[in-house]
Amino acid sequence: MFARLAASAVAATVAGLVLSAPTASAATALPANNTAHHCVHHTTGLCGWTHHQRPKNKTETAKCKDASLSYSRHSQGTCSHHHGVKYWFK
C-alpha cells in the first residue's frame, strides 16, 4: 500500500514538472532579477562583468557614463540622456 502511494506521488510530481515547463520565446523579456554574469554584444559600452564591475542591485541592467543607473529592458536608447552606457550587466 505504501509503495502505491509513493509511486503515485512521484508520478504526480513528475507530471506537474513536465506540464509546467516554461516555453521559450523569441522576444523574451529580462528577468526580474539580473543574475546573468555575462553581457550581450552591444555597440557602445563595456561588459561590466569582464571589468570586475558589479551592478548595485539585482535589477540594474546598465551603468551610464554619468554614474546613473539604468533598468531598461532593451538596449536601444539606454543612457541616451546620460552621455551613453559605461557598463552593461545583461
Q: Which residues of 14-51 are buried (b: 16+ CB within 10 A; e: fewer)?
A: eeeeeeeeeeeeeeeeeeeebeeeebeeeeebebbbee
Which pLDDT score, from 0 to 100, does residue 26 have?
Answer: 42
Q: Tell me how far apart the alpha carbons of residues 31 and 13 are, in angstroms, rounded to a whole number.
A: 26
**pLDDT tier, 41 (very low <50, low <70, confident <90, very high otherwise):** confident
Q: Tell me how far apart the alpha carbons of residues 55 and 88 are, in angstroms, rounded to a whole number.
A: 9
Percent over 90 (pLDDT), the chain: 26
Q: What is the pTM for the complete model shown?
A: 0.56
pLDDT digits 0-9 by tens, 61-86: 999 999 999 998 888 889 999 999 99
Distances (CA, A) of 13 to 9, 25, 31, 60: 6, 25, 26, 35
